[in-house]
Amino acid sequence: MELRSYIIRRVLLLIPVLIGVTLFIFGITMLFPPAQRATLYVTNMRQLSDLPAIIQKYGLDKPFFVQYGTWLNQVLHGNLGWSRAISMPVAQAIPHLLPATLELAIFAVPLIVLVGIFLGTKAATHKDKPLDHGTRVVAILGWSLPSFWLGLVLMMIFYGYFSGLLPPGRLGVQMDILVDSAAFIRYTHINTIDAILNLNGPVLLDALRHLILPVMTLSVINMAFIMRLMRSSMLESLGKGYILTARAKGLAEKVVVNKHARRNALIPVITVSGYLFAGLASGAVITETIFSFKGIGWWAWQAAVMLDIPSVLAFALFTATLFVVINLLVDILYTRVDPRVRLGGAVQ
Partner 1 sequence: MSKRVSKVGWIIMAALLCVSLAILPACGGGGAIPYKNPGVFVQQTIGRIDSLDPCYCYDTASGEQIYYMYEGLLGYNGTSTDTFVGLMATDYYWVNSTSLRFNIRPGVRFSNGDNMTVADVEYSFERAMVEDPDYGPVWMFYFPLLDTYGSRNSTGNITITSAEIDHAVEVVNSTCIEFNFVRPFPATTWYQIVCGSWGSIVDKAYCVAHGDWPGSWGNWTLYNNPAQTNLVLQSRAMGTGPWALDTWTPPGEIKLVKNDYYWNAGVHAVPFDRVLTQFVDSWPSRKLALLAGDCDIAYCPRTNIADLAGVADVNAVSGLPELTIDSFYFNQNITSTTTYAGSKTLDGNGISLDFFSDINVRKGFTYAFDWATYIAQAMQGEATQRGSPFVYGLPYFNPAANMYSKNLTLAKYYLEHSAWGNLTAIGFKFTLIYNTGNLVRKTACEILANNLFAISPNFQVAVLAKDWSSTMSLIRGRTWVMFQIGWLPDYADPDNYAVPYMHSQGTFSGPASFNNATVDALIAEGAISTNTTRRQEIYYALQQAWYDQLPGIILAQPLGRRFFTKYISGFEFNPTTCGQPGNLYYMSKSES
CB-nearer residue toward partner 1: 10 or 170? 170
CB-nearer residue toward partner 1: 85 or 257? 85
User: Is residue 32 near partner 1 by the rule CB under 8 A?
Assistant: yes
Least gap, CB of 188 to partner 1 (angstroms): 15
CB-nearer residue toward partner 1: 3 or 153? 153
User: Is residue 45 near partner 1 by the rule CB under 8 A?
Assistant: yes
Least gap, CB of 293 to partner 1 (angstroms): 9
Q: Compose the 60-99 pattern: x for residues touching partner 1 by CB under 8 A, - for all others.
A: ----------------------x-xxxxxx------x---
User: Is residue 348 near partner 1 by the rule CB under 8 A?
Assistant: no
List, in order, residues 6 or more apart from 217 with CB less than 8 Å away: 147, 150, 151, 154, 287, 290, 291
CB-nearer residue toward partner 1: 38 or 280? 38
CB-nearer residue toward partner 1: 233 or 302? 302
User: Is residue 18 near partner 1 by the rule CB under 8 A?
Assistant: no
> Of residues 68, 71, 291, 318, which one binds partner 1 by CB under 8 A?
291
As a whole number of angstroms, the distance between CA 140 and CA 166 comes to: 26
Of 122-130, 139-147, 196-204, 268-276, which segment contacts partner 1 by CB under 8 A? Answer: 139-147
Number of residues that bind partner 1 (CB under 8 A): 70
> Of residues 273, 302, 311, 319, which one binds partner 1 by CB under 8 A?
302
As a whole number of angstroms, the distance between CA 125 and CA 112 comes to: 20
User: Is residue 172 near partner 1 by the rule CB under 8 A?
Assistant: yes
> Of residues 4, 46, 249, 336, which one binds partner 1 by CB under 8 A?
46
Handedness of CA 200, 204, 205, 210 (dihedral sign): positive
> Of residues 173, 183, 199, 347, which one binds partner 1 by CB under 8 A?
173
CB-nearer residue toward partner 1: 182 or 248? 182
List interacting residues with partner 1 (CB under 8 A): 32-33, 35-54, 57, 82, 84-89, 96, 136-137, 140-141, 143-145, 149, 152-153, 155-157, 159-161, 163-164, 167-170, 172-174, 176-177, 180, 289-292, 294, 298-299, 302, 305-307
